Structure 1
Amino acid sequence: MEIDCSTSDETAVETAAPAPLPVGTRLLHIGPHKTGTTSIQGALFAAKDAMAGHGIDFPAHSRHPMEAALAVCARSGMIGDTRPTEKHWLRLVELVGATGKRTSVVSSEFFADAPDDETIARIVDDLGRDRVHVLITLRPLAKIMPSQWQQYVQNGLRMGYEDWLTHMLRKAPYEKPNPSFWRRHRHDRLVERWVRVVGAENLTVVVVDDSDRGGLMRTFESLLGLPSGLLVPDPDTVNRSLTLAETEMLRKLNREFRGNGLPDELYSKLVRGGAVLHMKNTCRPAPEDARISTPAWALEAAAGIGAEMTERIGTMGVRVLGDPALLSAVPAAKSTGNAESAEPVPVRIDPEVAAQALYGALAAAAAVPARQAPARTVHQTPSRELVRVLGHRVLRRLKRT
């Protein structure tokens, strides 16, 4: 992938605990995705009352004000979900304003999807430009790519991992099938967009070290002036990634679902909000379960891009917490086991996992009342038409309930 690179001084790195931000700061954490956002959001929300006793407000009614961020960024969110409206954003702005002169923190990875400088300026102005400090958390692309791919599969993607990597890394303009990937994860450009609006002095970059499990929590505590140990991961909000088998099962379901023309709203309610959610909440991956692995060529490409991004961020004058060298490290490659790889490894779904996924879908539709059967019998109706009709009927019933 091509990028304009400039010769720069070394990035200034802070390894000691950072000093607290000034009292009254409105800390805006914009992610991006797959950089520990779910974990920190859950910890902040769980400690909401305790933080208030230390002068820190978390002005949101849920751990993640996703609808507000989607609305201000003019994003529709996940397929089949109701599009957020302006009132979601205005409500969050109202809650932030109600904190007065106290320090507050807002976190949503969807702020990273802001499409242009005008949108970023609106976000910052509405939250109080003279008080906003932007925080961007970064992880190596090699860690982000498999996690982001399976997340796209959870949103209906049908493309296999290696094929997806080829499109993202080798096929210009690197925007198909997911143009949002590089919007989020070309991190140098993400930092640059926000620096243009808020200034380098009002932006901090945190390089997440996966080997230090509590590191991100301690960084937030330091920046907010909270006692050490106040923020702890909330196990109920851990957004675990799918295993390779789980992802492949869902990817093949996506092919059948989309191939039969079923509505997106049905996918949202029964698949993502039913089958996948129940499966993730009830099934813990076993140590022997195959994980999604990235081939060596993609790891090397990701490390090269990481080095370019690190160099460019170093020219912007922003504060960097953590070790930027982590962004360009090349981890050891493992066999992918995907159907598209040269030497595919058989992938089998655990019957218990499949059963829980099926139950999740059924449970999501359990309250739907039965209705009169169609005029034609099942045997008189083509299967493709039957599936489409059934899907639309279930969707209508779900809406009524």
Structure 2
Amino acid sequence: MSPGRVLLHIGLPKTGTTYLQQVVWGNRDRLASDGILLPGFGHREHLWAALDLQERPRLAKRHRDAPGSWDRLVAQAREQSRDVLLTHEFFCGASAEQAARAIEAFPDSEVHLVVTARDAASVVSAGWQESVKNGGTVDLDAVLAGRSAGGPEFSMRTWDLAGVLERWTPGLPSERVHVLVMPGSGQPHDLHWRHFAEVLGVDPDAYDLPTDAVNPALGIVQIEMLRQVNAHLPSYSARDRGVWIRGYLAEDLLAGQPRERGAMPAEHLGRFAELDRTAIDLVRERGFHVLGDLSALAPERSGSTGGREPGTVSAAELVESAARLVADVLADVRASTGDVPPRSSGTS
């Protein structure tokens, strides 16, 4: 038995993937009733599968069950006659050989590639911020000079739309490659989902959508402050980084501070504009199926020039942000431990 369609949603990172994944995982039963299987036990197994496909040598450190995740999802998918959806933004980091192997894993199925996209400067800026939220200490200047922000998933390998398409699409007919342009701030909040639902072939109005902010961005002061805090933290497991740095420090506390949007340093905008033009030309030349306004990827249409550059953050601003953070952490420690701090000698 083989699935009818296999829909591989491979990212890119920071293109609304978390939002789309929350919709499908939150409506898994509804998706199944519409004839689409999400294999595996949850979002984390799709993350593992993306890294397993890429043969990451330290995958077992994430979890003892992480190695073999790709083969498990493929085996489960092959037991189906209905459509199958695999979704994680780390899939886009696969090499051309690994991408071909993923597609060839379903020889009797109609494989579709779903790629969510936005302009390169915004992807890189947001991707660097995401690396800091996950415990990274590399500054944006170093990333722009070619240094990885924290592994292949936080590098130009996953942020370059044209490069990803070149690696993933040689074995696919153009009509099975779907490029979904991330909507702008002035467009309907559910437009990205509606485009995704169109590719899936489901009624978008039949699905419950998240009401809370998904993966909130930090202000430029807060992300720089967190980057410096990370340098003083002990080594955390991937799970603990997600819970304590990304979840607690970044999204629970720092995201609540007054924020100013960050911006790509102006001297690098020309380089990213060229990446955008290359990607747009490739999509048009190959005749891929586009949902959304492809011209929104063009530099003159992006918002990546707004906001402040990281180098403009002052020491006084960092101190103010740190003071707010310490006050919030102290309140939480007091609320959770009672009258005696966890490291207190017990004196009054």
TM-score (norm 2): 0.80
The answer as to 2:9 corresponding to 1:50 is: no
Is the Cα–Cα contact under 8 Å of residues 243 and 285 in structure 1 kept in the other structure? yes
Cα pair distance change 1:144/1:344, threshold 3 Å: farther
Shift of 1:235: 4.7
Structure 1, unpaired ranges of 5+: 1-22, 168-173, 365-369, 371-401
Shift of 1:81: 3.5
Is the Cα–Cα contact under 8 Å of residues 197 and 203 in structure 2 kept in the other structure? yes
Distance 2:115 2:289 in 1: 11
1:311 alignment partner in structure 2: 281
Q: Which amino acid aligns with 1:298?
A: H
Cα pair distance change 1:178/1:267, threshold 3 Å: closer
The answer as to 2:216 corresponding to 1:240 is: yes
Percent identity of equivalent pairs:
24
Shift of 1:355: 4.7
CA RMSD of aligned residues (A): 3.5
Distance 2:263 2:183 in 1: 19
Q: Which amino acid aligns with 2:53?
A: V
Shift of 1:30: 0.5
- Alignment equivalent of 2:54, drawn from 58, 73, 83: 73
Q: Following superposition of structure 1 onto structure 2, how do residues 125-136 of structure 1 map, counting pairs within 5 Å?
A: 125-128=104-107, 130-136=109-115
Cα pair distance change 1:129/1:239, threshold 3 Å: farther
The answer as to 2:8 corresponding to 1:28 is: yes
Distance 1:296 1:337 in 2: 8
- What count of residue pairs does the alignment treat as equivalent? 328
Whichever structure has more helix as a proportion of its residues is: 2
The answer as to 2:311 corresponding to 1:333 is: no
1:111 alignment partner in structure 2: 91
Shift of 1:249: 2.4
1:159 alignment partner in structure 2: 138
Q: Which amino acid aligns with 2:196?
A: F
Q: Which amino acid aligns with 1:182?
A: M
TM-score (norm 1): 0.70
Q: Provide Cα deviations, 1:94-127, integer angstroms capped at 9, x if missing partner.
A: 22123x221221111111011232x112211224
Cα pair distance change 1:332/1:252, threshold 3 Å: closer
Q: Following superposition of structure 1 onto structure 2, how do residues 192-207 of structure 1 map, counting pairs within 5 Å?
A: 192-207=166-181
Structure 2, unpaired ranges of 5+: 337-341, 343-348
> Which structure exhibits the higher relative contact order, with contacts defined as CA atoms closer than 8 Å and separated by 6 or more residues?
1
Is the Cα–Cα contact under 8 Å of residues 134 and 245 in structure 2 kept in the other structure? no
Q: Provide Cα deviations, 1:222-271, integer angstroms capped at 9, x if missing partner.
A: 222212323443357822223323322221123334xxxx5x3x364655
Q: Following superposition of structure 1 onto structure 2, how do residues 1-400 of structure 1 map, counting pairs within 5 Å?
A: 24-64=4-44, 65-75=46-56, 81-82=62-63, 85-98=66-79, 100-117=80-97, 119-128=98-107, 130-161=109-140, 163-164=141-142, 166-167=144-145, 174-176=146-148, 180=152, 181-211=155-185, 212=187, 213-235=189-211, 238-257=214-233, 262=234, 264=235, 266=236, 268=238, 270-283=240-253, 285=255, 288-330=258-300, 331=303, 333-334=305-306, 336=308, 338=310, 340-341=311-312, 346-347=317-318, 348-349=320-321, 351-356=323-328
